[in-house]
Structure formats: C-alpha cells, structure tokens
Amino acid sequence: MRNTLFIFVVTLCFAAIGSSSPAADRPNVVLFLADDISQEDLGCYGHPTIQTPHIDALASGGLRFDNAYLTTSSCSPSRCSIITGRYPHNTGAPELHTELPAGSVLFPQLLKDAGYYTVLSGKHHMGKNANVAFSKISKGKGPGKEEDWVQILEKRPQDKPFFCWYASTDAHRDWAINDDAPKYDPADVVVPPYLVDSEKTREDLASYYHEVSRFDHYVGQVVAELKRQQVFDDTLVIVMADNGRPFPRCKTRLYDSGIKTPFVVHYPNSVKNGVTDSFVSSIDIAATVLDLARVEKDERIQGVSFAPILKDASASVRDVVFAEHNWHVYRNHERLVRFGDWLYIRNNFPDQANLCVEAYLGGAGEDLWAAKEANQLSDPQQNVFLNPCPAEELYHVGKDVHQLKNLAANPETQQVLEKARGLLTKWTEQTGDTIPENPTPDRDAPPGSPKKDRKAFQYGEMPGESSGATNINHPGPLQLP
C-alpha cells in the first residue's frame, strides 16, 4: 500500500513538473525590431513592390495591427520607450543618444527575474543601464546585425522560456547590398508625393527596399529555427520597427510615415487570425508580454496590455495614442494625439524649419534640396522647408493618407480641434511633459549653412525634467471622454 501511494505521489509530482514546463504555461517571446521602416513598406500592408514573404506569412497566420503607433520616431528614445513601457519624457532618455538612467524599469529584466533566458542581439542604443535586463548581449553579425540570431537560438538553455530582442540595423542608412535579399529595379519603386520623382530618389528607395527585404529574410530564418526546435507554436512573435523610413518627412516626424509602425503578432495559443483597427501604442508591448507571461506588471509601466485584442480583433484597450518629437540633431518639441479618424500635431517650436538629417541625406534628400534651390517644389515637397512651421496641424487620416491637407484652420473642424487640444493638454499635465526653457540646440547645420562646431555641442534641458517626469507613472488618457 505504501509503495503504491509513493508511486502515485511521484507520478503527480512529475506531472506537475511537466505541466509547468517553459512551453506549457509561459510563452517564449521573440521581438523583431527593424530599424527605420514605415508601416506601409511591407507586403502584408499592401506594398506592391517590396517582398516580405516571411512577415506576410506571420501576418496571415496571426494578427496585423493597422493602427500601431510609436511614442516617438527617433532611434534611441523609441527603443528606451519600448523597453520601459513609458513615454520618452518619462524615461529620462527622451532625446537622440541619451541613455536610460540606472534603476529604470525594464520589462525583459522582469522576465529574467521570473526565470526567462533573455537575449539582445543587434542594435542596442539604450545605454549600459539596460544591460541588466539581458542574460546575453550580442552586437550581432553581418550588414544588418542579424546573422547570429539563429545561432543564439541553437545555443539557448533548454530548461527555460526565452525572450529574444532581435534588433536589426536594416533599413538604416548607409545602404549595404548583399545576396540575402532581392535587388530592386528603381523603375518599380513607389515615390511618395512629398519626394521628388527622380532617378536619384528611385535608386535611393530601391536600396531601402533591399534592406527591408533582408530584414524579412532573417525573420524567416528565425521562424524556421523555431519550427525545427518545435517551439514555434509556443512562441509569441512580434514584428515591428523603431521609427519610420530614413527619408525626408518620415523619420522623426509625427505623420504616419514616421510614427506608424508595422506591427504583426503571431502566437497560436492566444492570437485569433485577422486584422485589427484597434489602437495600440509601443508602450503597450511591455504590459502585454508580462501579461501573457504571467509576470506582475511594474507600476511604473504606463502602457496597457492589448491581450484582449489578440483574442478578439474588434476589442479595444485604448481610444487614443500619443507621441512626441524631441531633439534629434535638430531642436524640436512636437506632440501628437491620434483618435478616431483624426491626427493632431502641436508644434511648440514653430519658428524654425522642421528638420532631421534624413531630410538631406542620400539621393532623395539631395534631389529634394536641389529642387528647392531651383524653385521647383510642389506643395507637399515644401514641408521640410517651411519656416515658420504650422503651430497646429489636424488631418483626417482616412481621407488624407499622407497627411497633406491641414484642416486646423477649417471652420468645419473646430469641434474636433478643441477635442484634440483638450486630450493633448490633459496628457501633458498627467504625464508631466514640459517645454524646456533651455532646450538642446541644433547640433548640425543644414546644407548651405556654416558648419557648427560639434565639440562645443551640449545637451540642454530635457522635456519633463523640470516636472520630475521620471517619477510620474500616470498613463494619461486612454479613453475618449
């Protein structure tokens, strides 16, 4: 009898161990973070030329988000915002090349503390204080920093769930063409109306297309390895970018070309296939991953879990999203609120051109500036040269996909304008956003201007610094009044 009871108890213990295995109760997570890719530039979002078959397959078997917004369209602040689940001015690292403070909340660290094996490979750009979140850090290999992603999976511990932060440098300038992706014919590119349709611009876009496809190639390599290890069905896969394409009026800007990210989620255990129009913010990733991993959400995380949307594409966790544009080589302080069909931008430094270095780099930038000198710009192509800039911009995104027609002064939209102003003011107050009195100055000079002394450059006051925003955890408005 005693032997029978002993065998029964042991059997139950082994059954319990098996049921709590990494795959059984907590998902593995792979976050693919591209560098400088706009939402519209993937096949699954309807691009007629760019080939992204592996991401398209994840979308067809998972959920494609059509209204996923970043909190900023700038490299390091965007990454710092994602990893903390906080708005840039709340992270303490709101401007380009600023680093997260010690002691910041880091959702991969919470996973690590809960037993996950955590890896960062590729582009880091968050500062040394983020290193504590990862069991392993690799600089990546190859022109897009993706070539060791499969190798890392092969060598991972087999007794732990894993989290991979796979961050490519595709598609960041300068271009690096190789045999991992198609080489595109400039005749086949789609030139947006705010760029000059020229040979240089088309060649520039064709090279960008190549790097987008190379990112997709390595997404496919990792997916194949997950399937080989028979863990694909137990792995939450997220595909996204840190900001928009590195072209004029895209990267750093608050139009959809800069701030709207591709966002594909694949996880057979929880995701119902389809497409959703529900709003999500990049600060919601931390809350969602922790939710699915059954790890308690830190009170400092301002984002909300979008797990309900994964099961029901019509579900909603927020009615509004907010974003910010701070210093990125050039002084700036823009704020965005997006709700319904409306996108509203407030520019707190309107008495200047709204520039970034991507506005004049490469063939597209060169020809845009050349057209300006020749007085041959169309109205949409004037945007980066406007000085002063509009203090307020309001767009109906359903009717104006490129946000070219500013309706802020239209008498018929004044009620919407007042609602947008109120939402943004409330968010500013609740999250502790501030306009610096001594902002970071321009580091570089635009083409045709005297060069600035980079050695003399110093950061100024950060947004949110005077209000102690790093100690404020309020998420701002989530629902419309």
Q: Which of 14, 291, 25 is CA-nearest to residue 160? A: 25
Q: What percent of the chain has pLDDT over 90?
A: 93
Whether pLDDT at 22 is above 60 = no
Whether pLDDT at 14 is above 80 = no
391-435 pLDDT per residue, tens: 999 999 999 999 999 999 999 999 999 999 999 999 999 999 999
Average pLDDT over residues 329-357: 97
Say what angle helices 75-84 and 284-292 make with each other, to 10 degrees: 40
pLDDT at 25: 79
pLDDT at 28: 98
pLDDT at 269: 83
Average pLDDT over residues 236-249: 98
Q: Which CATH architecture has domain 27-319?
A: 3-Layer(aba) Sandwich (3.40)
Q: Where are the domains of the chain?
A: 27-319, 325-471
Whether pLDDT at 2 is above 80 = no
- Rounded Cα distance between 337 and 317, Å, is 16
pLDDT at 3: 47
Q: Which of 32, 475, 66 is CA-nearest to residue 262? A: 66
Q: What percent of the chain has pLDDT over 70?
A: 95
pLDDT at 24: 52
38-95 pLDDT per residue, tens: 999 999 999 999 999 999 999 999 999 999 999 999 999 999 999 999 999 999 999 9
pLDDT at 182: 97
- Rounded Cα distance between 161 and 206, Å, is 39
pLDDT at 270: 86
Distances from the Cα of 336 to the Cα of 192, 342, 352, angstroms: 22, 10, 18
